Amino acid sequence: MPASNSPLRTDLKLSMPFSNVLHLPFPEKLRATRLAGFSQLALQPQEVQRICAAGTPLKMIRQMAADEGIAISRLDPLCTWNPHWHPDNMNEAFVADHSMSAEVFFKLCETLGCSHMSLNATFAHTRYSLAEQVELYAQICSRAAEHGLVCDLEPIPMWGVRSLEQGWEIIKQAGSPNGGLVLDTLHFMRSNSSVRALAKIPGAMIHCVQLCDGIHPLPADVSLEQDCFNRLWPGEGNFPLAQIIAQLDTMGALNEVGPEVFSANNSALCAEQVASACCASLARYPAFG
């Protein structure tokens, strides 16, 4: 049973983002996901490689998840899908950790049985024209299709695709049948996107919703980069999450959803506490009850 006194909707595809369980060994990641009542788990590609290096083969990772009734549905993210992907605002350790090639990424997806992948546009926002971004996105979607993958673009305001509106324009112009969006509420708020703009996007094209909270407006002494990795659980800040979630529900856009909370505070949480925080944060909103 989910670790919450308030049962969550059973018609939703609930997914555990890797952020919430980064600090846990792989068996405990699965345990937290199961205790939350979630059927899917997203992993980082570099995290998968570390699990393998510690002695768990790829096929066993997939089998262990299946034994718990969990699908590793999404690998998140691929950054090297364009030739000038290096971010100009992150340190060398981040760059090294996100340097996996598309070829290796696709092999991991195939062995793990992933159906979806996420793209981060880590290039500088002035590096490519819109037309170039559309072409690069169409190319990686075509490659992803060869591996049976849905290829979702996540707009992130500190990098090259800065807003939901920009991301949707790229996807529209690319016209790739396996294209779509990841909507992260932190990035939605920090890019000053609006519910009105959100309503113009077909709900079926928003393949993943990642929920978190924060303080808006962003404090003057906090950078986007700092803010990205210091989030609050839904309901702990002042983001208009109830309005955003209600709009997504109305649009039919709650296709894959979970709370995504990058925070150093999570490192003190055991699997049961992660599961409880996930369920309690979603249960605050009528759309999930």
Instruction: Find all residues with CB under 8 Å of 87, minimum gap 6, and list them.
Output: 94, 95, 122, 123, 124, 159
Mean pLDDT by runs of 10 across the 289 residues of the chain is 66 97 98 98 98 97 98 98 98 98 98 98 98 99 98 98 98 98 98 97 98 98 98 98 98 98 97 98 96
Half-sphere exposure of 80 (CA within 13 A, CB side): 15
Q: What is the pTM of this model?
A: 0.97
Q: Which long-range contacts (CB under 8 A, 24 or more apart) does 222-228 make?
A: 224/157, 224/158, 224/190, 225/89, 225/90, 225/158, 227/186, 227/190, 228/156, 228/158, 228/186, 228/262
Q: What was the pLDDT predicted at 3? A: 56
DSSP state of 88: S
d(CA 259, CA 256): 11
**What tens digit of pLDDT does each residue of 195-211 get?**
999 999 999 999 999 99
**What tens digit of pLDDT does each residue of 82-115 get?**
999 999 999 999 999 999 999 999 999 999 999 9
Place of tokens 């605002």: 89
- Which DSSP string do the residues of 183-252 spell out, in sequence order? EEHHHHHHTT--HHHHTTS-GGGEEEEEE-B--SSPPTT--HHHHHTS-B-TTSS---HHHHHHHHHHHT
| Domains along the sequence of the chain with CATH | 15-288 (3.20.20.150)
| Distance of alpha carbon 270 from the chain centroid | 21
Q: What was the pLDDT predicted at 7? A: 80
